[in-house]
Every structure is written in C-alpha cells, then in structure tokens.
Structure 1
C-alpha cells in the first residue's frame, strides 16, 4: 500500500506504537481531532495501514492525587527527523535524508521508526513539523538543521516533553530540552589554545575579519588569558571591507609584538591574505604557529604555502598519509559538492546565528573557488598531472556525519529502552557523562544542551593534514565512550573501519533484504534517497587506488585488472 502524499516519510518497521496515559495525552487527542495526521500513514509489517497512535482514556488513580509515570517503551520507538525537504535548503535536506537512510541499518530499523518531517526551510514550517512530530507520538526528535528553525520548533517540543537533538552549532538555542550536535567553535578554540600553550606558543595575537564567529573565538581567548593559560597580546577584528594597505599596517604592528602564536578564526581569501602578510614579516613555523578552527578543513588551506606548519583542530581523523584507507577507497580531497550551498545564508540570521553564517560563507567561498576549475586546483597543489589533490578527509561530509550520529544515538537509546537496560528516559541516555563514539568521532551531550568533542590537533603540510595530537578517546579516565556504531555499519565504509581502528570485516552474504517499509513507505526510494555508494570510481570493477613511489615523488594512482 502506498503512503498518501503528505509532509513526511516513514522509515523503520512495525506499526505505530500503542501509547498509554501520559502527561500530554490530551494534547495528542486534540491534534488528532484537528486533522494534523490527515494524509499521513505508515505501513505496518503486514502491509496494512494502521489508523495512527491510540490514546487511552483517563487513568484511574486515587481520588486525591494523580500519578504520572513515564510512558512504557514500545516495541518500535517513534523518532522524528526534521529536515528542510522544500524551500531554499531542499538540496541539503535531501542529502541529509539520504545520509540518515544509510545509517538506518536493519538492526536499528527493528527498534525505531524514523519519520521525516519537512520544515520548509522556514520557522513556520519548522513549527508545523514539530506539531506533526508531537501528534504522531515521537519520543525523540532529530534536527532541525539550523538554529532559526530549531528555535521555532523548540517551544512546541519542549511543552510536549520531547527532547531534541539538533544539528545546529549555535549555542544561543541550546537548553530547555534541545541538545546541539554541531561543532562548537568555542570548544575548538579552547582545545587549540591549551595545546599551543603547552608547546610554548602561549603568547598570542588574534586577527580576523569581524564576524559573530570570530567574536566567539575571541571571547574564548580572553577567557583563557584571564585564567592565565595564555597571554593575549592583542585582538584585532576588522571590518571585512578593510583595504589591503590598512591590513598591511595592522599585521606589521602585531608582528612587532613578537607573538609565538597567531589565531585566525577565518578561512578562504581573508585567511590566505593574512597568512601571507605574517609570513612576509617572518612570523612562521616553527617559531610562530598560525592557528585556526575547523573552518580551515578545506582544500584551499593546503594550497597556501604561508600556512605550512600551521595548526588547526578537527573532530575527524584525517586519512593515512601512507595511501588509501582500504582497497577500493582512496584518500580524497573534500568534495565542494558536499558543502552547504551558498543560499544557506538565506535561512540564517547573522545576528542570531553567527557561527553558522561564518561556516556557510566559508563553504560557499570554497564551492565557488574550486568547483569551476578542478584541473587548476590539482595543478596548484602538484604540477604532476596524475597526482591527486592533498587528502583532506574520506567518508561523508561533517554535516552528513552529524545526522548519521543522530540516527545511531536514537537506535542505541531505542534498543536500551526496549531491553530495559537503560530505562525509558532519553535525556538520561543522551547526557551519559562518558559520551559516545559515532560516525563523527567521540562526543558527549551536556545537560546545558551544549556538547564536548574529542578533537585532533592537525598541522598543515603539502601532503595534507598531519596529526600533531590525537583526539582523546574518553572523557572520564578509565571509562571509554560508548560505541554507537559497530560491525553492522562497517560494510561499504572502509573509512569508518580505519577511524575505529578495527580490522576490515570479511565479506558475508546477506541473508535477506530489510522490509520495504524500513526504507520508505511509498515504494522504492528515489535516487536522492538511496544510500550513496562509499566506493571510489572503479572499485566495483576491481580497480583500486595505490601509492607508487617507484620513479621519484610518490603518486597515488588507480590500478585496474586486465580487461576481459
């Protein structure tokens, strides 16, 4: 049976769960009566369309008091995913939906039913999506992507007692039941400055075009300086339209302060210009370290010779410098097509969402500078025509990894809730102080709604990022983070096997396909919805990338078996 057209798509197995008396059972009844679920159906395992969540009558309690108890965990837990499937951000939403599908393994689909609701890339659409999630009985909500829509959905979901795991990195919307999965610049700056101080680079200057993102990083630097962890000689946040001659005079003055570290929370052309000026005034590694956040994790950073030896932070481990991660998968430069489109800015308010605006502008700049001339990009990195660009990362983009982590978190909680191992309260599960290890590394969610991540300190080199300090693998000594990804996620993902430091799994035959409604309740998934192949071109016909150092400088090239 096909699902009627509507604003949602369901994933997972099993019928809609029976819900008992809850503190907001009456609210669900009102919404059902208002028709919020009209035109929305999910398929049960026997192919029939259930009428929707059932609401029991008032519970009978003692005359003088009412007893409220957490709802029991159903066999299949309903989880909502709020994405911009229409509007300016529809391309990003479709990509994230595909990433979420790829993380919904048969084992996770057996414990959770994931339903996608369209935010329409607007606050009003986010509110409607949140109301639909409440009406369907969702126990946990993943998304929205950006803080503008997250802020709009939060009051509705908070009133219903449903925790939210948003993909935003704007700390202004955290709290009141909303947890951020996004990479927070404050955490990155703190980790970088602590490492710099421990290595003798604690006398700092900070310079960047003025932006909300840069101001957040500057606040962290001032806080570290107030604690005595570093010495902050000067902070210069200048208007983006500042002319070149004025920037020359500014950098000259900062160079005279004799810093041992220069923190530059920017990327793209502004970063290249500032780095070149500090290099001109002999402020270069190893005596002086230029430093930045994960805004630097982009191919053009490694084209800029004045950034060689600079340090930056990232939650994702870079690929091995000894060659491809595994047969059939090469270490590749990050594809600008995976970055948010330039129109990302249209959904975000620069006053309310400074962190996302800066990241979006950097991604847009990267997309415009790289996608039009890939041949020139490769030539700038290495004149040899068959040499691949500097390896930045393998696997999905950071944003894709976040939504995959959300699905993995929901699956782990649903499994615990059904087994009784961890209770039915999702907040207690989400805020486990030991944290989790997922598709985007080690992280933990705090009761405040913020997060902490295990971060790598990386050095810029012509061959790509080099690990200077590995990311911590635990937050509590002696208590490793819980792994929410495992062997079921390894097939087709050699990059994940490598990042988890596991042996590659042996190929095993698949006993059967997952139920049809584990992927979509409306027939086969569209090409946009299908799980993207993780293999490099040529992997399917036996080709693989190999490192060849037989005739001079090492090269990474594709080797294929003889054609039959």
Structure 2
C-alpha cells in the first residue's frame, strides 16, 4: 500500500460531532501501566489559545521541558496527504502535553520528509539527543527504517502504520489494524446465528490481509466459508455474478456476505449486488472499519449490515477540544498521536525507570485511550476493543458496545 493509500484508508471514519461535551477529569488508572484518557474541555475557552500564534514546527522542534526525552517522527515536509496528516498529529501531541498535569516529558518532533531515508536520519538524530522512546513514523517503509535504527539501541517505537509486516518486537503499531475489525465482526455474526458465509474481496494488499483473518476467525468460530470471490479493485461485477448463486435469489445458501471494501469501491459493489438480486434482509452484509463513512450509510445493498470500528464518543470529545485549540477539525488518526504521547507521559509518571520497557508496554491489561482500550502484543501488533455498528437509513448505530476490557486470549 502506498503512502497516500495508507492515509486514505485510515480516514474512513465518520466526521466527528463537536457540540455538547462537558468537563471531565482525566488521570491514571490504578494498576500496572493502565492509562485513563477521559474527556475534558479545552483549558483555553474564553480566551485566545496559546497555540494560535505558534510557528510551524520545524524538524527537531522541542515541545515540553521535561527530563525524559521522547521523539516524534512525522513527514512534516512529505508529499501528498502525509504532510497534512503530520501537522494534525503534531498538534494532537501538543494538545496531549498541554492537558496532562505537568508531564515530565521533553518531546522533540523530527521531520522524516516522508521517506525511509529521512526516517532513518530522524531516528539517528533522536538517539543522538537521548530519546528513550520514538513515536511514529507514519508510513510502513519509514517505520521499518526507523525501527532498525531504534532497535540497535533497544529504544522502543510506537508507530502509526497499519502494515502488519513492519511490526516486530520493540516496534509496536498504534494504527487501526484490519485484523481486529475482521475478527470482531465475524465473531459477532457467529454469536448471532450466522453459520454460512461468502465473501467479496478486492485484489489488493488490504484484501489479502482481511481474507486471511476472515478465514481464520470463521474456522475458529465454526462458521462455514461457502465461497470467496476476489476481483480487481473497482471492478466487482463479474465476481458478484459468480457469487450470486449462493448469496442472492429467493433461497440463498449463505446467511452473511463479507464485503471488506472502501467507501469508493462499495458504490460499485452495492450497484452490482442490487442488479444481481441480492437482498440484505436475507443475507447479512458484514464489513470492516472502512465502512465507517457517511457516504456508505445510504447504499441499498448494505442496509442492516454490520461492521466493527472504534466507538466514536471518545474521538468526538477529543475532536471538540482539538477544534477549540486549533480552530479546525483533526484528521481521524490524530487521536493516535494524542494517545501515544499521553501514554508516554503516564508511563513515565507511574513506572519509574521501567517506563518504556517491554513488560510495561506489552502489559496484557492494556491502556484506555481516546479510541477505547488497546494493548500492544509482543510481536508488535495491537488488540483493540471495538464496537459493532449496524447500517440503517443513512446512519449507523451501535448494536454491540466495545468491551471495557480486552480478553485474556
């Protein structure tokens, strides 16, 4: 997946509402390395935000004057959508430090220029200045390059990529990974009596990842996979015609149809399914977090469908505070930067010299962030507590709330 594709996939979440959020406390939960990030209003209401006149952050800009050095690696001069994303994530980091009560963190932002070479140089500069933790980079190639530098000095990395191939011991992914979304929605379908499923999956890297997880979860839950059809991106018509025999008509042979497609691709898929006689009231559509986009909610073939994604209340509160501080809405993944910096500050406060050690970062109880409970696995991947939504009448509602704790298994 290229850089712009990685950004586009991660923007697929409904635009946040920003009205009506009250003040709440935030603090650190009791227990080993468990972080609580509760909603709170901006501390700058009623006056000019101190962020308003701040200059654009150059590479190596220091944010905070604490004693513990943490680096953030972002493509501030990268091409395409990466630069805009980086600016929002940098500002989210600044917001996190401003809202944390006297964090003892010295955060330095380094520019990767959106390239592996730039990420490698940024990581080397961060190590030279004593960084104990690296947050970022954003794209897979840059994560791999920076991770190699960080690992040579046993410095952990909290990266924003969604590419599972760059995760490894010591390089932990903060991003919204497709695997937990697939597992959650298939689990929920099985719990609700769906025992025979088919799938329409695009021939993309994302499609390869979600197909593997789909088959694994279905096998684990005893769900029969009747048919899987792959199709060139944007051209689902022939695949729909092939799968219509089991998923359409008066007597379909399956009771669910998995469609892990982007909002743009779902337009063509929905039209082809309608033309083939697909009835979503007979065969339940299933999707991933890519569905979490307003344009998807009115597609006829997806009505009544289920998909898994983070609950929105935490992000909506974060977005409200961000908008008050910076006078604009944040990109969806800005919450990852906020959570990463808040986590660094909380672990520094509660875990002493072991603050960024592997046992602390991979604590199975996990952490509670803007997007719900999450934890890092020893292999660098993450688990997230996700909600299941149902598409209905131009919107989506939660039919299964995100759990407040992650399972042991």
TM over 0.5: yes
Using the TM superposition, give the Cα deviation of residue 439 of structure 1 relative to its aligned residue in structure 2, in angstroms: 1.1
Q: Deviations over 1:486-538 (max 9, x none)?
A: xxxxxxxxxxxxxxxxxxxxxxxxxxxxxxxxxxxxxxxxxxxxxxxxxxxxx
Aligned positions of 1:461-480 closer than 5 A:
461-462=392-393, 464-475=395-406
C-alpha distance in 1 between matches for 2:265 and 2:213: 21
Partner of 2:78: 87
Partner of 2:385: 454
Does 1:401 pair with 2:326?
no
Residues 1:429 and 1:105: Cα distance change in structure 2 (over 3 Å)? farther
**Pick from 222, 246, 249: which aligns with 2:241?**
249
Residues 1:160 and 1:299: Cα distance change in structure 2 (over 3 Å)? same
Does structure 2 conserve the Cα–Cα contact (< 8 Å) formed by 1:318 and 1:466?
no
Residues 1:152 and 1:108: Cα distance change in structure 2 (over 3 Å)? farther
User: Secondary structure of 1:218's match?
Assistant: helix
User: Secondary structure of 1:303's match?
Assistant: coil
Q: Deviations over 1:60-97 (max 9, x none)?
A: xxxxxxxxxxxxxxxx2110000001120322211211
Partner of 1:131: 124
Q: Which has the higher contact order (CA 8 A, sep 6+)?
A: 2
Residues 1:161 and 1:80: Cα distance change in structure 2 (over 3 Å)? same
Answer with 1 or 2: which has the greater Rg.
1
Using the TM superposition, give the Cα deviation of residue 191 of structure 1 relative to its aligned residue in structure 2, in angstroms: 1.1
Aligned positions of 1:110-125 closer than 5 A:
110-125=103-118
C-alpha distance in 1 between matches for 2:220 and 2:387: 23
User: Secondary structure of 1:265's match?
Assistant: coil
Using the TM superposition, give the Cα deviation of residue 108 of structure 1 relative to its aligned residue in structure 2, in angstroms: 5.2
- Unmatched 5+ residue regions in structure 1? 15-75, 330-337, 339-394, 478-564
C-alpha distance in 1 between matches for 2:84 and 2:330: 16
Aligned positions of 1:516-527 closer than 5 A:
none
TM-score (norm 2): 0.77
**Pick from 270, 278, 287: which aligns with 2:265?**
270
Query: How well do the aligned residues superpose, as a CA RMSD in angstroms?
Result: 2.9
C-alpha distance in 2 between matches for 1:100 and 1:314: 23
Q: Deviations over 1:403-434 (max 9, x none)?
A: 111011101111124xx4x7344322211110
Query: How many residue pairs end up in the alignment?
Result: 343
C-alpha distance in 2 between matches for 1:104 and 1:116: 13
Partner of 1:377: none
User: Secondary structure of 2:77's match?
Assistant: coil
Aligned positions of 1:11-410 closer than 5 A:
11-14=63-66, 76-88=67-79, 89-105=82-98, 107=100, 109-227=102-220, 229-240=222-233, 242=235, 244=237, 246-247=238-239, 249-255=241-247, 258-317=253-312, 396-410=330-344
Does structure 2 conserve the Cα–Cα contact (< 8 Å) formed by 1:111 and 1:411?
yes
Residues 1:216 and 1:110: Cα distance change in structure 2 (over 3 Å)? closer
Q: Deviations over 1:309-368 (max 9, x none)?
A: 11111013369xxxx98xx97xxxxxxxx9xxxxxxxxxxxxxxxxxxxxxxxxxxxxxx
TM-score (norm 1): 0.57
